[in-house]
Amino acid sequence: MSTASTQSASMTTDALAQARAVLERVTDPELPFLTIGDMGILRDIRLVGETLEVAITPTYSGCPAMDVIAVDITTALAKAGFDEVRIRRVLSPAWTTDWLSAAARAKLRANGIAPPERAQGKRALFAEVEVACPSCGSKSTQRVSEFGSTACKAQYRCLACHEPFQYFKCI
């Protein structure tokens, strides 16, 4: 590899690392304590010629937050000096709650939202699940409504500490 090729590869690696660091601070507008990295929404970052291409996957096909996330990504990268940015939406494979990082699950709990639980080893939107209260940890909880503040959350209450809370549905 020539010196010019080595320098170019190094600059590409540095630019991608810088872009990733910027993107790791972009948050989900509906859950601002979670980053798009925590959520598993950020799929890929690559340079295509002079353009930085960022691949994101929506949490579900009609997620209204994706337009805001795309603007936030473009804005954050522009502030960091990336002028040529293209957002690519990747729909396959579809996002699942399995893509939430361990940090995301801990942050959900810390913010009073129960993280997704599997129903007897299965993932099902309307399955009966045993949801632990994010405040006291009790599994003596009751679903109040299948839908919470957003379509991806359900409303629950704890029968032990009597606190209401949201549950991030398993998708």
pLDDT digits (tens, 9 = 90+) for 48-61: 988 999 999 998 87
User: In whole numbers, what is the pLDDT of the chain averaged over residues?
Assistant: 87
In terms of Cα–Cα distance, which of 154, 80, 147 is closest to 117? 154
Average pLDDT value for residue range 60-81? 92
* Range scoring the smallest mean pLDDT among 29-38, 119-128, 162-171: 119-128
pLDDT at 44 over 90: yes
pTM of the predicted structure, to 2 decimals: 0.82
What is the rounded distance in angstroms from the CA atom of residue 92 to the CA atom of residue 75?
26
Predicted confidence (pLDDT) at residue 83 exceeds the cutoff of 70? yes
Main-chain dihedrals φ then ψ at residue 94, nearest 5 degrees: -70, 145
Quickly state the pLDDT bin for 129 (edges 50, 70, 90): confident
What is the band of 125 on the pLDDT scale with cuts at 50, 70, 90? low
What are the residue boundaries of the structural domains of the chain, listed by start? 3-95, 100-168
93: its two tokens: 């494979």
Q: CATH topology for 3-95?
A: GMP Synthetase; Chain A, domain 3 (3.30.300)
